[in-house]
Amino acid sequence: MGRSVSLLTRRGCHLCEVAAGQVRAAAAAAGASYAEVDVDTDRELRAEYGDRVPVVLIDGVEHGYGPVDLGRLRQALQPAV
C-alpha cells in the first residue's frame, strides 16, 4: 500500500495555495496519493488546525505546518531502506 499525503488548507490562504503546488508535486514524484482538505468544512479539523494552516500529513500523521520545507518533505517520502 502506497503512502498518502494530505494538505490541510483553507480558502483564501495564500500560503496554502503555494504549499499545494509544492506538496502535490512532491507527492507525485514519490508515487504517493495526494488530497487537500479544507479545515473549515469540518468542525474538529478547524478546532485542531485552523490557526496553523497549511498542515502536511503523511499517512495521517502531522509532518509540519506553515511554509513547506521541501527537502524535509521529500526525505520523509523516500522509501525506507
pTM: 0.93
Rounded average pLDDT per 10-residue block, the chain, 81 residues: 92 96 97 97 94 96 96 92 64
Decide: helix, strand or coil at residue 21: helix
The predicted pLDDT at position 8 comes to 98
Residue ranges per structural domain of the chain: 4-76
Q: What is the CATH number of domain 4-76?
A: 3.40.30.10
For residue 32, the 8-state DSSP code is: -
